[in-house]
Structure 1
Amino acid sequence: MRRSIRTMLGIAAASAILAVGVPAVASSASAATTTKTATASSYDYDEYWGYYYSKYYDGSRAKAKGHVYEDDHGRFHVEGKLYDKYSPGWLCGYVQVKFENEDGDDSTYWAKKCGSSGYRYFHFYENHVDNIQVRTCYWSKHHESKKYCGRWNYIYEADSQE
């Protein structure tokens, strides 16, 4: 459902760009530059995501929610809150954010929240992003590793317009 809505929005955006871009080709170069600048803002991406959960451990789960957007310089930002409620003291909430470029290279960032009071704010950004994924896990203090991870969730996917 979510992917089909994105596809429809992408098609609508591409149609709007074509409708605006075709008259610009016929007009002067300065008008084409103005049209290009005006349509650049139509590429802005702004979406809230979450809650995404870890797997259950003894009736508790870590959770994360947030926001993804593109700034004026083409950087994609992921920010959000990580919650760790009702988990045992040896587990911490843990969120991973993976940015992938068009070549398939990825960068993964993480944030950790231990204890059930409040939340941990996180904010990561990257340039040249083709897709972004998020997953929530627990972090085991005993094993120094992530445990009970939920699935990876796409929060941004670039539309291929070839």
Structure 2
Amino acid sequence: MHRSIRNVLGLAAASAVIAVGLPALATSASAATATKTASASSYDFDDDWGYYYSKYFNGSRAKARGTVYEDEDGDFHVEGRLYDKSSPGWLCGYVQVRFENEDGDDSTYWAKKCGSSGSRYFHFSSDDVDNISVRVCYWDNHHAAKKYCGRWNYVYESDGDE
């Protein structure tokens, strides 16, 4: 008989702990979610992008990744790193960044990385921007032309609600 009383008391104590503990856990979980949501929405659109890739050449591809953001003056910045691994010496990794405004005018900037060691940092900026896109290619040093380009990827698009 003592054993069943102990079991009942133990079960009652466990139920009380669960009943008291669950609301506290739910409160802390919702507070953590609210904090995460508030911190994520404090940025307008600071955004990481990539990896984006060129097309394959003999099993190798150039790649790039980076960030896009708007500064206090309203200028848009795209920065990142370009990698070129395992390509022949006459091919270089090549990244293009295109800034477009609402009139359809665009400006395209590029960076090139030759050789398989390390990466190259790039940073471009522009004002009056509605869309920003990035693509990765190879640069053919023999013909001074881009080759094996991947697709254009939008890294920023305006709402159009301005």
1:161 matched to 2:161? yes
Gaps of 5+ in 1: 1-40
Structure 2 match to 1:140: 140
Greater gyration radius? 2
User: Is contact 1:75–1:126 with CA below 8 Å preserved after alignment?
Assistant: yes
CA distance in 2, matches of 1:43, 1:86: 37
CA distance in 2, matches of 1:131, 1:122: 19
TM-score (norm 1): 0.73
CA distance in 2, matches of 1:57, 1:48: 26
Give the secondary-structure state (helix, strand or coil) at the position aligned to 1:128. Answer: coil
Identity %: 77
CA distance in 2, matches of 1:96, 1:88: 21
User: Is contact 1:100–1:132 with CA below 8 Å preserved after alignment?
Assistant: yes
CA distance in 1, matches of 2:75, 2:45: 11
Structure 2 match to 1:57: 57
1:76 matched to 2:76? yes
Structure 1 match to 2:97: 97
Displacement after TM superposition at 1:43 (Å): 7.4
Gaps of 5+ in 2: 1-40
Structure 2 match to 1:149: 149
CA distance in 1, matches of 2:153, 2:127: 20
CA distance in 1, matches of 2:137, 2:43: 32
Query: What count of residue pairs does the alignment treat as equivalent?
Result: 122
Give the secondary-structure state (helix, strand or coil) at the position aligned to 2:79. Answer: strand
TM-score (norm 2): 0.73
Moved over 6 A (4+): none
Flag the 1:148–1:73 CA change in 2: closer, same or farther, 3 A.
same
Give the secondary-structure state (helix, strand or coil) at the position aligned to 1:99. Answer: strand
Displacement after TM superposition at 1:44 (Å): 3.2
Displacement after TM superposition at 1:42 (Å): 6.2
Amino acid at match of 2:73: H
